[in-house]
Amino acid sequence: MVGAVLVLSGPSGAGKSTIISEASADIGEYYFSISTTTRLPREGEVHGKDYYFVSKEEFEEGIKSGTFLEYAKVHDNYYGTSLEPVHDALSLGKLVIFDIDIQGHRLVRAKLGDITTSAFITPPTLIELETRLRNRLSDNEEVIQRRLENAKSEILAVGEYDFAIINDHISRAAREFSIVANAARLKHSQIDEATFIKNWLASE
């Protein structure tokens, strides 16, 4: 049994983690891919739960040795996805959920496109995004402005995704996410399709 991949992207502050948490009871067993990063932990973040926090040198060594499925440099820090736990989860038939940026989405599409479904999650407006960023009280003004500028670029890539989820009401966004996640499980790879066709024809 081969699993499936669901890539989620969207501006920081769009509510991706909240939506996943809200919908978790409705989407079955899944593996949430934990990213590796060189940025410092925020207050309350735990190594191995929120991110794998490593040094820049460790990350660049991983790049050289090919241990990342995808990686990108964002806000002067590296973010990436380790290959081994992803392969393990897929081999167990699990839905693997990624919360990664646009660059990461493109790289995952290039490598695992036949089993990948994607959704772009965003607040309804740029003004609403700014309100959410300010209300969470975790970033200074410089960081907030940088995130808003990045969001203006990110929204231009919405057409690259299979689905767009507008997070104006969390309960509705969670329901839409559940539909997308369960649809992702039904997507078959080319290998699966070839095996199915072979077995189907052999049943004559």
| Count of domains forming the chain | 1
In a domain, 75, yes or no: no
Residue 49: per-residue pLDDT = 85
How does the average pLDDT of the chain come out, rounded?
A: 91
- H or E element in which residue 80 lies: strand 77-82
Residue 175: per-residue pLDDT = 97
Q: What is the pTM of this model?
A: 0.82
Residue 129: per-residue pLDDT = 94
Asked if 103 and 116 touch (Cβ cutoff 8 Å), the reply is no
- Determine how β-strand 4-9 pairs with β-strand 95-99: parallel
In a domain, 113, yes or no: yes
In a domain, 45, yes or no: no
Fill in the DSSP letter of residue 47.
Answer: B
Residue 204: per-residue pLDDT = 67
Residue 120: per-residue pLDDT = 97
Cβ atoms within 10 Å, residue 58: 13
At position 92, the amino acid (one-letter code) is: L
Give the tens place of pLDDT for each residue, 22-35. Answer: 999 999 889 999 98
Residue 42: per-residue pLDDT = 84
In a domain, 100, yes or no: yes
Fill in the DSSP letter of residue 24.
Answer: G
Q: Which domain holds residue 27?
A: 4-33+95-202
Residue 60: per-residue pLDDT = 95
Residues of the chain with pLDDT under 50: 1
Dist. CA 47–CA 45, nearest whole Å: 7
Q: Tokens in use for 86?
A: 């992803």
In a domain, 29, yes or no: yes
In a domain, 143, yes or no: yes
Dist. CA 109–CA 115, nearest whole Å: 9
In a domain, 140, yes or no: yes
CATH of the domain at 159: 3.40.50.300
